Each structure stands twice: as structure tokens, then as C-alpha cells.
Structure 1
């Protein structure tokens, strides 16, 4: 099964590029940019990656982002992630970035997006890995800050496929950003949103109704509402689920308790993703391995996660068909 997973073509739909900042690169960039970080060694950073909840993770995540200053830093960060994609046979990735994490520190929007985009272009040419970019609004900041970020994104419509919503879910319901998302849709962006991770199932309904989202990021608390689960399955509304992240942030006690497999078997379009892999203990293959180690999954079910991700992606329809064929023929040969 491990061998099958390793070589299975995969698509990742829930990855925060700032969350792929490995401790070694953090140290390298801190040194290069003469930034003080509250750790002495990469090992010390890893030891700090024990979280009680989403907020305790976010506190250290924002500190880590302080080392990202120049276009080259964002390039190096993104290129390192794309090399991991190559290693894990991820053939397409839809990547979140948080402009406000950087613009609030005085880093220009174009510095961030140009560094990331150049690495993605290089990966497309040299590694044959396609990608798309999604800007996320930080939900703990106000609506005005989100509108300002949307304004900054408008000259880069050719580089950005969608807008999303991340950061602290508690106390920041989807309705807070309904007007921003309406404007983003008017400007031609697709929409996604984190919902139903720490927040209740109602946040998923609200993200779908108020933000008109194409898919829901996380969404594991949908099971609190059987009617919602039925609706997700009937309408094939995708959930971009992040198994290792959910364990690390105590959404579930352990992987055996995780509901992604039962949701898959209920016909929900669930997908496997790595979220913030440097902080949560693994990239795509690690998430698949962790599920296969704790759940009795068939190869067809493992492959279905990939097919779901292709269907849920923002790839052109013809390219989707090609990728689905590749996954099906790979599975048939195993």
C-alpha cells in the first residue's frame, strides 16, 4: 500500500505556502535577512511545534513568517515546496498565501506574489507540476483590511484564481466577509473558505450561502448536521481535508477517530491535503500513509481521494479528464 500511495498521481488543494517553511530554511532566511527568531536551533523549532489548538499554532506561524522579506525569500520557500511535490508525485497544487501576514509588516504585495509566481513558473517548466494561486483573507482582521487586500490583488488577476478565508475561525463567522467575497466574485475570482474545523457545522452552510464558495476547506464538523452531510454528498461539494493537521490541532484525538474515511464512504467529495506541512508533521504522502496505517482502505478508495481532488480542482475540464485517466490506469495496473 505504501508503494501504491508513493507513486499515485496526486492533487493538493489545501496548502498554505507560509506553512511549508521548514525550520532549516527559517534559520537560513533569518541569518540572510538578519532577523532575530526566538530559537537557537532547528531542533528547538520542531520541539515548539506542539500545539493545543489553532491559535497556539497561529502564534508561532506568524513569528516564523517574519523571516520572509525579499522576493528571493518567497521564491526559495515556494521552490522548496514544489520539490516536495515532485517527491510526493503531486502533479498539481492550488496554493494559499496570506498577503496580510506580509503587508502588515511593510512587505509589498508585489514582492510576495512575484517571488511565489516565479517559483511556480519554474516548477511548471522544469518539474511539469501545474499550480494555481489563492489569496486568503485573515479572518481575525477586519473587513476593511480584506477589501484593501482584494484591491491589491486586482492587478494580478492573471496569477490568482480565487480568494479564500483562513486564520482563527472562532469568533469570525463567514458573514463578516460576505461583502468582500461578493466584490471578489464580481471581479471574476472563484471563492473558497475555511469552515467547520474549529467552528460549527453552521459555518459551512454560511460559507456556501453567504460566500458562494466552490469548496470548503476542512469541513470535518459537517457530521454534526446529517442534512449537511447529505447535501455535500448530493451536490458533490468538495471538502479539502487535512488529516495530520486535524490531529496536531486536536480537532480529533487520533487518526483512528478521524472521519474522512466514513465521509468518503458516505459519498462526500473529500480530498487529502497537508495544510501547513512543516508544522504538522508531513506532506501529501505522509497524510496518505497515516490514513492507510489506521484505516482499512482499499487501493480504489485511496485513488478516489485523488480523483475527488482532480474533480474539485480549478483545472481546465480537458486536463481534468487526462489526470483522472492517469489515476485510473495507474490503479488498474496495481
Structure 2
């Protein structure tokens, strides 16, 4: 089956959207229900859902763990390089329509190895789509290996060594999955090894876990960017530090609402984070599960908080400046953003 034969793969319209980078995106979290069923049929997998409606009905989450249970179960349809490539192209196609011009994409290698998929199959499938992304979709990319914090550090180190040994095309490592009870201190050796290998360093912290996890991710792991980080607002000294140091925070508003980290979007601390001078950008996290891609997140922020051109430019500019792209590409994207602002005015 080719990608074009998969339901939902037709080209989306591409309006003149706000140009931006997406820095907090789990590629496995882009698996739409239609693609899950198509890949299951391709691979002869019997799903535990009778139809699309039954699957969609399970997308009501009470907390992070209830989401993770479904997230990992749906990965069962990913078996071949073609599957991973099709999933990645589906995201890139939709991201292009959302105005994404650069994407730093996380994938969970341990989750695939644990279910018997060879590491090379998962990596090569995603990487093959990313290699053609700029030519096909106008999106430059980077691939980040995200490690599951509810597993052991030894497991993470083993997979990292395998990635390094195969010269996998990754630019960095991250830390995701169940945060509570799995502090950054658990992974100091992993981050030391990645740093020695010249990889960029990010980590989820301060979503469900306390503000102290953000501090530890910065001080113990030496991360360059914090994914989520919304609970930093509970520590005024930390907020002052992060504002002074302009530590990037990749915030995912719709995700935070769907996982009950905040009650409603109106309760989200994003406006307060901006007012405090924090370096915040907006991302979609797992868009197939959380009610929208990055453009949907921006649209909801405009509707709920009345964000105008100044706020949109600041958030998009933060995303570009906080990315791991080179100076030439960063300069070009910031110029594109400036042109978008001039056209909007």
C-alpha cells in the first residue's frame, strides 16, 4: 500500500499561516484513527475496537497515564519501515498546512524495541520521511530520541548505545512518559553519555511533576530546553531564573487541558508565563489525541485570550529562536515571520 492509498492522506489546503517551528511533537502521537485502522489492515492486526467511533470514544483522558495506556496500545500497528514512514509523512503534510517551517520530532525507540520491532526499522522509517521533508513539504527537521522515564536508566543507556553504534540520524535526546515518581535525577548518566556524544538535550518536566523537576532537569541533566514546564509558575525564584536565562519552554495548551493538568484553556498559565518574561512557544504534543495540531492550539489561544499579532509573533519567534537549527535557516525563518507580520498589518 502506498501512502496516497491510506485514508486521510489527501493534500490539505495550505493558507498563508503563521510561520513557526514545532519543537514538542511525539511522532507516535500523530497516529490518527483512520491511519491506525489502515495500518492494522495492511499488517493483518485485529484491533480491540469495532470501528472508528469506538476508538474515538476512548480519547477522553483523566490523566497522563490514561492517555499513555491508549497511546502505547495503538503503536501495535507500526511494524515496518513503510508504516513509520507513512505516519511521519502524514504529520509533515498536516504540519505544512499549519504553517510549520521547522519541526524537531521526538520518537520513542524503547516502546518499539520492547514489542519486538527492530530499532533500525523504527528509526529508518521515520528518518526516510524526514530526509525528504524539506523538498516535499518545505519543513526542515531534526529527530530526537525520547526515553521513557518509567523504565530503567540501564534500558535507556542500552538503547542510546545502539543508536550511537548504528550512527542513527538523531540530533538529541529527550525524556518523556510518566513523570510522577520518575525524577530527572534517575537519568544523570544517560544525559552525561548523550552530552559526551555531542547530542542536544531536552526533557519533559513540570507537567504533572513539581517545579523542582524543572530545576533538576536544568541542574542535574543540563538540558537546553524544557518540555511543558507549566508548573514552574509555582516557584517564583525559578520563574525569575528562567526569565533571566531565557530557558525555552515548549508549552502544549490543548494537551494540558486534555490531560487535566489545567481544568480549562481559560485557566492555562500561558498568558502569565508570557507576562513573566518566559521564553514560551506553542506546540501540539500528540495532536491525534489532544484535539488539534499546532495551528489549532494557536486558534484556541486567539479565541480564549484574544491574542493578536504581537503575541503570535512573539510565540512563533520564540519557537524559531529556541530550535536547534543553524544560523542561516533561523535567519531565513525569522525573515519569513517578519514578512507575515507586515502582510497581516
- TM-score normalised per structure 1: 0.97
Aligned pair 1:275/2:285, yes or no?
A: yes
Aligned pair 1:209/2:219, yes or no?
A: yes
The equivalent residue for 2:41 is 31
- Cα deviation for residue 318 of structure 1 reads 2.2
The equivalent residue for 2:233 is 223
Quick one: which of 101, 104, 119 aligns to 1:109? 119
The equivalent residue for 1:197 is 207
The equivalent residue for 1:152 is 162
**Which residues of 2 match residues 1-334 of structure 1 at below 5 A?**
7-155=17-165, 157=167, 159-334=169-344
- Cα deviation for residue 228 of structure 1 reads 0.7
Q: Secondary structure at the match of 1:91?
A: strand
The equivalent residue for 2:5 is none
Q: Secondary structure at the match of 2:158?
A: helix
- Cα deviation for residue 333 of structure 1 reads 2.2
- After superposing on structure 2, the runs of 4+ consecutive aligned residues of structure 1 that deviate more than 2 Å are 155-158
Q: Distance in 1 between matches of 2:249 and 2:16?
A: 22
Q: Distance in 2 between matches of 1:38 and 1:291?
A: 35
- How many residues of Structure 1 are paired with residues of Structure 2 in the alignment? 330
Q: Distance in 2 between matches of 1:261 and 1:328?
A: 22
Please give the per-residue CA displacement for 1:192-220, whole angstroms capped at 9, x wherever unaligned.
Answer: 00000000000000000111101000000
Q: Distance in 2 between matches of 1:166 and 1:187?
A: 20
Q: Which consecutive unaligned segments of at least 5 residues does structure 2 have? A: 1-14
- Report if aligned partners of 2:123, 2:168 keep a CA contact under 8 Å in 1: no
- Cα deviation for residue 323 of structure 1 reads 1.0
- Report if aligned partners of 1:10, 1:91 keep a CA contact under 8 Å in 2: yes
Q: Distance in 2 between matches of 1:141 and 1:33?
A: 28
Q: Distance in 2 between matches of 1:36 and 1:140?
A: 28
- Report if aligned partners of 1:37, 1:63 keep a CA contact under 8 Å in 2: no
Q: Secondary structure at the match of 1:126?
A: helix
- Sort the Cα spacing of 1:129 and 1:206 in 2 relative to 1 into closer, same or farther, 3 A: same
Q: Secondary structure at the match of 1:333?
A: helix
- Aligned CA RMSD, in angstroms, stands at 1.1
- TM-score normalised per structure 2: 0.94
Q: Distance in 1 between matches of 2:282 and 2:166?
A: 28
Q: Secondary structure at the match of 1:110?
A: helix
Q: Distance in 1 between matches of 2:275 and 2:327?
A: 25
- Report if aligned partners of 2:17, 2:97 keep a CA contact under 8 Å in 1: no
- Cα deviation for residue 319 of structure 1 reads 1.5
- Sort the Cα spacing of 1:271 and 1:121 in 2 relative to 1 into closer, same or farther, 3 A: same
- Sort the Cα spacing of 1:156 and 1:215 in 2 relative to 1 into closer, same or farther, 3 A: farther
Q: Distance in 2 between matches of 1:156 and 1:130?
A: 23
- Cα deviation for residue 153 of structure 1 reads 1.1
Q: Which consecutive unaligned segments of at least 5 residues does structure 1 have? A: none
Q: Distance in 2 between matches of 1:156 and 1:22?
A: 30
